[in-house]
Amino acid sequence: MVYQKDSRVLENIRLGKDCFKLIFSAPEIVKQSQAGNFVHIQVNPFTFPLLRRAFSIHEVNRQKGSLEVVFKVIGTGTEHLSHKKKGDTVNLLGPLGKIFSYPDREDISIMIAGGLGIVPVYFLTRDLLRKKHRGKIYFLYGAKEKDQLYCLSDTRKLPRGKVETLYSTDDGSYGFTGYLDALLKQVLKKEDKNKVKIYACGPEGLLAKLSHLAKDENLFCQLSLEVGMPCGMGTCMGCVVKYKPDCNSPVTFKRVCCEGPVFKAQEVILD
Amino acid sequence: MVRQGQSKKVDLSLEIAGVKFENPVMVASGTFGYGKEYADVVDLNKIGAVISKTLTIVPRDGHPPLRTFETPSGMLNAIGLHNIGVDNFINDKMKFLRSKKTKVIANIAGSTIEEYVQVAEKLNSAEGLHMLEINISSPNVKRGCMEFGSRADLTYECVKAVKNVSKYPVMPKLSPNVTDIVEIALACQEAGADCISLINTLVGMAIDWKKKKPVLSNITGGLSGPAIKPVALAMVWKVYQKIKVPLIGVGGIMNTQDAVEFFLAGASAIQVGTVNYVDPQASVKIVEGLKKYCQENKISSIKELIGMAQPSPI
């Protein structure tokens, strides 16, 4: 069930220079939300910016009926959102999109969080912890530099005994020096590849590398893709990704909003 | 006597070629999928008509990404008629649509006039369908659509061919990307169109100034949204003065005020398009808004509004 609701802003927290966390009261949406889902937010009631903006859900509080989104100011829409104050009302549409396929207890889950791509995999991790998931979880969080690890305060709270959190920065200012795919390869050396389930979100370059890696090594890997979505409901056909489920199939197009945003890494073609 | 708190009933219904619409608010083709997608958030029983995504004789995959781009108070799209094909529409989508009170209009297109005819013929067996909208105006495909709709002779040929085989009333949808839209509308009327919808999107483009390349894979796309409303309104105004068949106004309608302006210019009904992406409930809100506007202006039937702003005949 999808809901369209005017939702109250409970809090707007600045996480960094241009990065914000908005917490909304949206009980109906929260009740239905699972990791990988997104909400489509009308940033203002005017004609500019006209279209809604899609945000993966970062975290929910099912008792309070609240949900969190995290975003960086990259244009007019996010600029408007960054000015929202406690008590403001914003129209939310959701939960939308296909979710991650949750791991089984014997699986080894590896979360790959590239920059703000942390959002959906953080939700998945938190949801697994809430569900008292017994399987091993790695959480690999990377960014260009330490200042861009915007959700550090969240990942530091992940319980050490249950989640092994590893960091990487391109400039070496925090954790491993280098890209996340290199860090992933180190982890993979230690684990049984047949039991590994990789869940990733982040910049397209990272996801393209993971897509190739998953193909080459025959790994289970799901990617959450980010593209502009006019409708978010599967009607405008505007948000497609190139799709090729196997080498014998022709390239077709799938809608990221409703046939994704979570796809098997092997099945999408990322340029 | 009207009791306090009980409002006077306003007649929003209209009839076109024997099809009785509960109200004159339709959701435009390409902005509402096949109806069911929005069923969680919109009560389809309250919408005058649902117009399907354009249907072609076989499913089409459309253009590669990027297909859409937001512009000031508008958006560009170059989808390329990505659709499930007419057979799948009849077999998989009609059952749901006919369970609703809304009227169902299938929007059709082809690369050749023969293809338009084939789609129309197939739809004759679609139980619960009420009308065909003929897409002779999409600017995003190399063959068909606007290729026909930008020439009066081909418009006539295409509309006539569909009209000849279809058991439903037909509504050609006109392109604004023409020298004289009245000439095209006259060709539709002459070919037997039961009503005419106008306008489809305006050709536009966007360039990525960082990558120094066009944004859309198709290079150009169709501009829609509130940015095009004044253009659409002017075209309805102009066509109304020369055409006898009912006009369905479409282009950038966001709210009741926009809708009323189209009625005043000469539209008998309206379609809402891009706003469905912004507020899926916009069509239902406009139906309510029209009722309220009529009550406040002591208008008992929406028909009284049609062309009211036009100069009176001497």
| Chain A environment of B201 (Cβ under 8 Å) | none
Task: Tell whether A73 is within 8 A of chain B (Cβ).
Answer: no
Q: Which of B37, B64, B73 sits opposite A48 (nearest CB)?
A: B73
* Interchain CB contacts (distance < 8 Å): A and B: 99
Percent of chain B predicted with pLDDT > 70:
97
Taking 60 as the threshold, does the pLDDT of residue B6 lie above it?
no
Task: Tell whether B208 is within 8 A of chain A (Cβ).
Answer: no
Task: Tell whether B31 is within 8 A of chain A (Cβ).
Answer: yes
Residue B206 phi, psi dihedral angles, 5° rounding: -135, 145
Model confidence band, residue B314 (pLDDT cutoffs 50, 70, 90): low
Task: Tell whether B254 is within 8 A of chain A (Cβ).
Answer: yes
Taking 90 as the threshold, does the pLDDT of residue B293 lie above it?
yes
| Kind plus residue range of the DSSP H or E element containing A109 | strand A108-114
Task: Tell whether B70 is within 8 A of chain A (Cβ).
Answer: yes
Q: Which of A51, A231, A253 sits opposite B62 (nearest CB)?
A: A253
Of the candidates B35, B30, B32, the residue with the CA atom closest to the CA atom of residue B45: B35
Q: Do A238 and B278 touch (CB under 8 A)?
A: no
Confidence check on the interface: ipTM exceeds 0.90, yes or no: yes
Query: What pLDDT does residue B7 have?
Result: 59
Cα–Cα distance for residue pair B18/B134, rounded to 1 Å: 18
* CA–CA min distance B280, chain A (Å): 8
Query: What pLDDT does residue B5 have?
Result: 46
Indicate the pTM of the whole model: 0.95
pLDDT tens digits for range A190-223: 999 999 999 999 999 999 999 999 999 999 999 9
| Chain A environment of B78 (Cβ under 8 Å) | none
Query: What pLDDT does residue A247 have?
Result: 87
Task: Tell whether B76 is within 8 A of chain A (Cβ).
Answer: no
Is residue B248 within 8 Å of residue B268, measured between CB atoms?
A: yes
Model confidence band, residue B214 (pLDDT cutoffs 50, 70, 90): very high
Taking 50 as the threshold, does the pLDDT of residue B93 lie above it?
yes
Residue A200 phi, psi dihedral angles, 5° rounding: -140, 150
pLDDT tens digits for range B147-197: 888 999 999 999 999 999 999 999 999 999 999 999 999 999 999 999 999
Dihedral angle sign, alpha carbons of residues B35, B36, B41, B42: positive
| Chain B environment of A47 (Cβ under 8 Å) | 73, 225-227, 254
pLDDT tens digits for range A128-164: 999 999 999 999 999 999 999 999 999 999 999 999 9
Cα–Cα distance for residue pair A255/A97, rounded to 1 Å: 10
Taking 80 as the threshold, does the pLDDT of residue B4 lie above it?
no
Residue of B nearest to A42 (CA): B278
Q: Which of B64, B67, B70 sits opposite A51 (nearest CB)?
A: B70
Task: Tell whether B65 is within 8 A of chain A (Cβ).
Answer: yes
Q: Please state, rounded to an integer, the average pLDDT across all residues of chain B.
A: 95
| Chain B environment of A230 (Cβ under 8 Å) | 68, 70, 75, 77, 274, 277
* CA–CA min distance B79, chain A (Å): 6
Task: Tell whether B43 is within 8 A of chain A (Cβ).
Answer: no
pLDDT tens digits for range B254-291: 999 999 999 999 999 999 999 999 999 999 999 999 99
Of the candidates B150, B80, B77, the residue with the CA atom closest to the CA atom of residue B109: B80
Query: What pLDDT does residue B146 have?
Result: 83
Model confidence band, residue A271 (pLDDT cutoffs 50, 70, 90): confident
CA geometry: angle at B156 spanning B310 and B57, to 5°? 115
| Chain B environment of A48 (Cβ under 8 Å) | 72-73
Is residue A109 within 8 Å of residue A117, measured between CB atoms?
A: no
Is residue A265 within 8 Å of residue A200, measured between CB atoms?
A: yes
Is residue B243 within 8 Å of residue B288, measured between CB atoms?
A: no
Query: What pLDDT does residue B312 have?
Result: 82
CA geometry: angle at B135 spanning B54 and A53, to 5°? 50
| Chain A environment of B278 (Cβ under 8 Å) | 42, 50-52
Residue in the structure block whose two tokens are 């590896």:
A110
pLDDT tens digits for range A80-109: 999 999 999 999 999 999 999 999 999 999
Q: Do A52 and B30 touch (CB under 8 A)?
A: no
Query: What pLDDT does residue B2 have?
Result: 47
Q: DSSP characters for A22-53? A: EEEE-HHHHHH--TT-EEEEE--SSSSS-S-E
Contacts 24+ apart (CB under 8 A), B227-230: B227/A47, B227/B71, B227/B72, B227/B73, B227/B74, B227/B252, B228/B74, B228/B176, B228/B199, B228/B201, B228/B202, B228/B252, B229/B253, B229/B254, B229/B258
Is residue B72 within 8 Å of residue A48, measured between CB atoms?
A: yes
Angle of helix B152-165 versus helix B181-190 axis, rounded to 10:
30
Cα–Cα distance for residue pair B113/B164, rounded to 1 Å: 12
Taking residues B243-249, what's their average pLDDT? 98
| Chain A environment of B79 (Cβ under 8 Å) | 236-238
Question: Three-state SS across chain B?
Answer: CCCCCCCCCCECCEEECCEEECCCEEECCCCCCCCHHHCCCCCHHHCCEEECCCECCCCECCCCCCCEEEECCEEEECCCCCECCHHHHHHHHHHHHHCCCCEEEEEECCCCHHHHHHHHHHHCCCCCCCEEEEECCCCCCCCCCHHHHCCHHHHHHHHHHHHHHCCCCEEEEECCCCCCHHHHHHHHHHCCCCCEEECCCEEEECEECCCCEECCCCCEEEEECHHHHHHHHHHHHHHHCCCCCCEEEECCCCCHHHHHHHHHHCCCEEEECCHHHHCCCHHHHHHHHHHHHHHHCCCCEHHHHCCCCCCCCC
Q: Do A93 and B278 touch (CB under 8 A)?
A: no
Enter the DSSP assignment of A250: P
Q: Do B37 and A51 touch (CB under 8 A)?
A: no
